[in-house]
Amino acid sequence: MKVGARDHMISEIDKLDTHLASPDLTVDGIAVNVHSLPEGVSSIVDAAEHGDNFSVCTLNLDHVEKLRHHPAFLSAYRRARFVTADGFPIVALSRLLGTPIDRTTGADLVEPVCREAGKKRLAVFLLGSNDSTLEAASQRLRDRYEGLDVVGCIAPGRNFEAYSGEADIAIDRIRRSGAKICFVALGAPRQELFAARCLDELTGTGMLCIGAALDFIAGTQTRAPALSQKYGLEWAWRMLQNPRRLAPRYARCLGTVPQLVARTLPQIFGARMRKAA
């Protein structure tokens, strides 16, 4: 066995041992298995270096609501190798479980992953948003991270679907580009459904579902201030920027919290009892 492969196997065994000792929070059968931003970045880059196919999802209350009513979305989430906590209620529940998780959004992941991709010569691809945003984001990422190779960009049409002729073309372009990491900025559930399809049709490409991250990098949208992010109020800041579109969504999200807590309580009680025993 090669040294690199052996080290990779040892690393994965260590992670498994840690998770067995401290069980991950699960939501509708989905394990939130990335506990911090550094862990997420290292896991993603390590998998990309080894030529793995994988997807990354970032769980928030909007996604929790969709998981209950969208079977294909649930299936896509279940196929994700890495799931982060993008939402303060998820973080709070993990702490009650005794396995604290730091909030890690798609926007948090992009730049540190690109920094490491530049160092390790891992080509990246950008999919989503629009042509001007992709051009600005790709240029800014190249300028910030030495060695970063953005090998392609696609801005799909407004009606892009994961199983369509347009998606066939996108998958072919990603395949021919040789990208090891593809950032998918289509919004939920389209980005997760497309990423799940790519697991079957690409070889050696990690698909990261990142929402509006490319718009933040390009400057076409402004992310919430750091203080709002720190205290779990990014959703409120965003709602104030676009109340007509986002207020109904966040109202639905808040309505999922009691049910989410109720579904999670057996995990919390079980974990507490095991620790007390």
What the block records as the tokens of 261 is 């807590």
pLDDT band at 6 (very low <50, low <70, confident <90, very high): low
Q: What is the mean pLDDT of residues 152-164?
A: 96
Looking at residue 243, its pLDDT comes to 84
Q: Is pTM, for the whole model, over 0.85?
A: yes
Rounded Cα gap, residues 209 and 127, in angstroms: 10
Looking at residue 230, its pLDDT comes to 76
Q: What is the mean pLDDT of residues 118-136?
A: 97
For the segment 55-104, what is each residue's pLDDT rounded down to a tens digit?
999 999 999 999 999 999 999 999 999 999 998 999 999 999 999 999 99
Percent of the chain with pLDDT over 90: 75
Q: Which of 24, 68, 5 is nearest to 270 (CA)?
A: 24
User: Could you tell me which residue, 245 or 135, shows the higher pLDDT?
Assistant: 135
Looking at residue 24, its pLDDT comes to 92
pLDDT band at 240 (very low <50, low <70, confident <90, very high): confident
Q: Which of 90, 136, 18, 101 is nearest to 253 (CA)?
A: 90
Rounded Cα gap, residues 89 and 67, in angstroms: 16
Q: Which of 85, 27, 102, 88 is nearest to 237 (CA)?
A: 88
Using DSSP's 3-state secondary structure scheme, residue 164 falls into: coil
User: Could you tell me which residue, 221 or 20, shows the higher pLDDT?
Assistant: 221
Sequence spans of domains, the chain: 26-234
For the segment 9-37, what is each residue's pLDDT rounded down to a tens digit?
545 555 444 444 568 999 989 999 999 99
Rounded Cα gap, residues 238 and 170, in angstroms: 30
Exposure string for 54-65, b = 16+ CB within 10 A, e = fewer = bbbbbbbbbbbb
In this predicted structure, the answer to whether residue 1 has a pLDDT above a threshold of 70 is no
Lowest mean pLDDT among 113-117, 130-134, 187-191, 231-235: 231-235
Q: Which of 171, 153, 146 is nearest to 161 (CA)?
A: 171
